[in-house]
Amino acid sequence: MTLLQKKPHHKDHYLGELNAPVVLVEYGDYECTQSAKSSKWIGPLIKDFKNNLCYVYRHFPMGLLHPHAVLAAMAAESASLRNKFWDMHELLFDNHQNLSLESILQISRKLNLNSMVKKNTIKKNIIYHHIVRDIISGINSGVASTPAQFINGIRLEGPMNLERIFMAIEHALKGTGIPA
């Protein structure tokens, strides 16, 4: 069993309440096809489990496999400075197959953030620090690929789909553990 080494906290990007009965932490990469697929499950899960679920997203760009993943994570962090992290997050995953610099700038323009993204070279250290913090916490928790999901601190193993995550959340709510 692999355990999450860094508990969710208020500096994370999250939907719901951190003190919810079930906290799903996901390490993702904006150019990863599987991360893009799993991002589509979050809305239905939040809708079904309401106040019983908190979803936490942490960056884990796989730069050697995905050359634009770090740039995309930086764009998401830039958007977070204007409280538009989740809007950018969704659009980046919607365009995960084409995240060139020009594509990311087009997405930024859609959110009226183009000038913000360019100006954030000044705030690059803050933005980069958040991404590095996520990566280090992922490495310390045994993350080697994306997406990597943890429910209440326990790593979900094997290939995931909406049904398996739904079942794992239900088991966590019942206190019956996480199914293998």
Per-residue model confidence as pLDDT tens digits over 103-135:
998 999 999 886 655 555 546 778 889 999 999
Residue appearing with tokens 């959110």: 111
Cα(55)–Cα(27) distance, rounded to whole angstroms?
11
Contact 69, 145 (CB under 8 A): no
The predicted-structure confidence for 13-22, as pLDDT tens digits, reads as follows 999 999 999 9
Q: pTM, whole model, 2 decimals?
A: 0.94
| SS3 call for 180 | coil
CATH code given to domain 13-174: 3.40.30.10
Cα(70)–Cα(154) distance, rounded to whole angstroms?
26
Helices (DSSP H) in 50-158: which residue ranges? Answer: 69-80, 85-94, 101-110, 114-119, 124-140
Length of the chain: 180
Domain boundaries, the chain: 13-174
